[in-house]
């Protein structure tokens, strides 16, 4: 009975400390009961005995998320959780079940768009295979099917990757349309450039990988083996290399978008970004070693250098946003 009452107290205390955007969380009590495991005297089992624990950590958490007192400067987290009333949208409210219905519809639309794109790309999968073989077609490389059905499963893989990449804009639009009603007015204005910039950088990473990174890496391997062995490559392993390299490069090109988002939220500043350039160089080298499927330093360098440049460009964008914010203030 004592344990049941203790669980109910803890549940009510945690519910009282929860808050949403624009709401003021309840202040916790000076002390809360906590069930501690204590050894029964003279026994072998474990029993529960109540003890008291100061709510110092809860006070710190509540001071972080609670609205600032009048005249106090709000932190970035407080400003995000408690936006001013003029920033809140005037849209109508929806019950939770309507939100779930809308989420189901948008997930269904995104899934149907991806399925249609994958099916279309599978129909033209042989043309895509020839297109992706182009970086080494002039180097005398020949591709082999080392097992029954290897080329068939390779075309499935190529069609799946290509279809998902083509359907990315539709999926991003459905995600944005679902989250827009819960954003403030300034966040809505910031969302469109972020999605557009993310899409442009992702496809720019794919183009960079296909036009520069992949041919350079493959030509390195071909020239290194020239005169010693004949280049007869497995079709499945080749496309595993090319597709993973293209996808990882597209994801790596999202660094400026992440920087701009963090800068817009006020979590980091351009000064902090520029001051950490030494760690960025080391981190870009490690990230290039992890993202590239090959182990040669040449391919890693080709990816690490653009990553450092993208990071510096993102820091410059954050500085421009800070200067614009200072002018408007």
User: DSSP for 285-319?
Assistant: HHHHHHHSSS--HHHHHHHHHHHHHHHHHHHHHHH
pLDDT of 236 above 50:
yes
Place of tokens 């809860």: 58
Q: Which of 38-47, 75-84, 223-232 has the lowest mean pLDDT?
A: 38-47
d(CA 198, CA 229): 42
Q: Which two tokens stand for residue 48?
A: 């529960």
pLDDT, tens digit, for every residue of 289-326?
A: 877 766 667 777 888 888 899 999 989 988 988 888 88
Q: Which two tokens stand for residue 56?
A: 């110092």
Mean pLDDT to the nearest integer, 32-53: 43
Quick one: pLDDT band at residue 81, thresholds 50, 70, 90? low
Q: Give the 3-state secondary structure of 181-206.
A: HHCCHHHHHHHHHHHHHHHHHHHHHH
d(CA 215, CA 146): 24
pLDDT for 33: 41
pLDDT, tens digit, for every residue of 83-126?
A: 555 556 665 566 778 878 888 999 999 999 999 999 999 999 88
pLDDT for 60: 54
Quick one: pLDDT band at residue 55, thresholds 50, 70, 90? very low
Place of tokens 């614009």: 324
Give strand pairing partners of 203.
Answer: none
Higher pLDDT, 49 or 58: 58
The model's pTM is 0.65
Quick one: pLDDT band at residue 72, thresholds 50, 70, 90? low
Q: Which two tokens stand for residue 64?
A: 């972080």
d(CA 175, CA 236): 33
pLDDT for 312: 92
pLDDT of 223 above 70:
yes
CB 125 within 8 A of CB 158: yes
Q: Domain ranges in the chain?
A: 96-238, 254-324
* Whole-Å CA distances, 290 to 116, 210, 220, 295: 32, 19, 19, 9
pLDDT for 324: 84
146 phi, psi to nearest 5 deg: -85, -10
pLDDT of 34 above 50:
no
pLDDT, tens digit, for every residue of 193-203?
A: 888 888 889 88
């Amino acid at each position: 009975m004592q344990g049941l009452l203790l669980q109910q107290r803890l549940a009510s205390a945690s519910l009282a400390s929860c808050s949403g955007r624009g709401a003021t969380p309840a202040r916790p009590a000076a002390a809360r009961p906590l069930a501690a495991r204590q050894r029964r005297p003279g026994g072998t089992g474990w029993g529960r005995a109540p003890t008291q624990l100061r709510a110092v950590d809860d006070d710190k958490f509540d001071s972080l998320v609670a609205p600032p007192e009048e005249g106090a400067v709000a932190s970035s987290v407080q400003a995000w959780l408690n936006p001013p009333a003029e920033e809140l949208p005037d849209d109508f409210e929806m019950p939770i079940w309507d939100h779930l219905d809308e989420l189901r519809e948008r997930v269904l639309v995104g899934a149907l768009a991806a399925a249609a794109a994958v099916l279309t790309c599978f129909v033209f999968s042989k043309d895509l295979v020839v297109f992706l073989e182009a970086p080494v077609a002039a180097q005398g490389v020949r591709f082999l099917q080392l097992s029954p059905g290897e080329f068939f499963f390779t075309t499935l893989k190529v069609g799946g990757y290509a279809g998902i990449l083509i359907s990315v804009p539709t999926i991003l639009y459905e995600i944005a349309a679902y989250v827009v009603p819960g954003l403030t007015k300034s966040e809505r204005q910031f969302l469109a450039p972020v999605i557009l910039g993310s899409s442009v950088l992702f496809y720019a990473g794919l183009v960079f990988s296909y036009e520069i990174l992949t041919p350079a890496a493959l030509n390195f391997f071909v020239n290194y083996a020239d005169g010693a062995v004949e280049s007869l490559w497995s079709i499945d392993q080749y496309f595993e290399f090319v597709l993973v390299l293209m996808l990882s490069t597209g994801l790596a090109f999202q660094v400026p978008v992440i920087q701009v988002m963090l800068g817009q939220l006020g979590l980091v500043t351009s000064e902090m970004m520029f001051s950490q350039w030494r760690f960025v160089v080391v981190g870009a080298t490690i990230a290039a070693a992890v993202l590239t499927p090959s182990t040669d330093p040449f391919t890693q360098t080709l990816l690490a250098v653009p990553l450092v440049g993208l990071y510096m460009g993102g820091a410059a964008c954050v500085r421009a946003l800070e200067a614009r914010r200072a002018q408007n203030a």
